[in-house]
């Protein structure tokens, strides 16, 4: 074999070897099929949610202009979810508690769905009030990622961010909800005095803030 032919042969052999190595490496990275990976993700998230003994605090934003609400939710292995909240959306602005069924399904990724009615959660997606448009909230959430004590999600329809924070074991739900409600009422009341924050030589003032009322805010 001539030298030029030998060089071409060696180059082709090296290319084939490199291509084979790349294919083997790719096969190792994706050792499971997409369906298998999705099934495992669903199982892992289900275990994470149901292994929280005292449930989760849900930071719920119905849409991009929503003031935000605190909901409490406990996921049971049976598929039942216990929910609680206190806000102006609950009856007489009092602490309420109810339950519904939940599931984690595959829909281009893991999706947490509350698939039976809960007056605490589905009030956000009820189209009747206010003004026939509702609050434009979701009851199905795409699970983006999770750590041991936080789950990042977004509403499947409206895409707003929703966070789950694991509740500490000793926290009493009603006391927690009452304290959050009282703090929000105090902070965003028209009677609240101006709040001042000094950072280095700069002074910031928060006054006449609003969360769920018709007040204005200034900084």
Domain carrying residue 18: 1-31
From CA 23, how far away is CA 18, in angstroms rounded?
Answer: 9
| One domain, residues 118 and 166 | yes
In a domain, 76, yes or no: yes
> Do 200 and 167 sit in the same domain of this protein?
no
User: Is 163 inside a domain boundary?
Assistant: yes
In-domain check, residue 142: yes
Q: How many residues are given for the chain?
A: 219
Question: In this structure, how many other beta carbons lie within 10 angstroms of the beta carbon of residue 71?
Answer: 21
In terms of domains, do 109 and 206 share one? no
Residue 135 lies in a domain: yes
- The CATH number of the domain where 176 resides is what? 2.40.128.280
Whether residue 55 is found in the same domain as residue 94? yes
The pLDDT assigned to 217 comes to 34
Cα 34 → chain centroid? 23
205 is a domain residue: yes
User: Do residues 85 and 178 share a domain?
Assistant: yes
pLDDT at 191: 59
| Tens-level pLDDT at each residue, the chain (219 residues) | 555 554 555 445 555 565 555 555 444 556 788 889 999 999 999 999 999 999 999 999 887 777 789 999 999 999 999 999 999 889 999 999 999 999 999 988 999 999 999 999 999 888 776 666 678 889 999 999 999 999 999 999 888 889 999 999 999 999 999 998 887 776 655 555 666 777 888 887 766 555 443 333 333
| Total structural domains within the chain | 3
* 176: Cβ contacts below 8 Å, ≥ 6 apart: 57, 72, 167
Inside any domain, residue 38: no
Q: Give 9's contacts (C-beta < 8 A, 6+ positions apart).
A: 1
- pTM of whole model > 0.85? no
Question: Based on the domain organization, do 163 and 201 belong to the same domain?
Answer: no
């Amino acid at each position: 074999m001539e030298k030029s032919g030998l060089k071409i042969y060696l180059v082709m052999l090296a290319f084939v070897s490199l291509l084979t190595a790349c294919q083997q490496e790719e096969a190792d990275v994706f050792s499971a099929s997409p369906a298998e990976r999705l099934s495992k993700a669903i199982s892992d998230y289900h275990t994470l949610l149901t292994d929280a003994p005292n449930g989760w605090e849900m930071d719920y934003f119905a849409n991009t202009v929503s003031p935000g609400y605190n909901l409490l939710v406990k996921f049971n292995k049976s598929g039942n979810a216990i929910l609680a909240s206190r806000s102006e959306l609950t009856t007489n602005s009092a602490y309420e508690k109810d339950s519904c069924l939940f599931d984690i399904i595959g829909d281009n990724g893991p999706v947490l769905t509350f698939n039976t009615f809960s007056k605490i959660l589905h009030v956000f997606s009820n189209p009747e009030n206010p003004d026939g448009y509702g609050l434009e909230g979701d009851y199905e959430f795409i699970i983006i990622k999770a750590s041991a004590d936080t789950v990042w999600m977004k509403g499947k329809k409206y895409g707003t961010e929703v966070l789950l924070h694991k509740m500490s074991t000793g926290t009493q739900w009603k006391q927690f909800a009452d304290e959050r409600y009282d703090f929000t009422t105090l902070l965003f009341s028209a009677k609240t005095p101006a709040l001042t924050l000094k950072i280095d030589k700069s002074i910031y003032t928060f006054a006449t803030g609003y969360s769920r009322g018709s007040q204005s805010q200034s900084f």
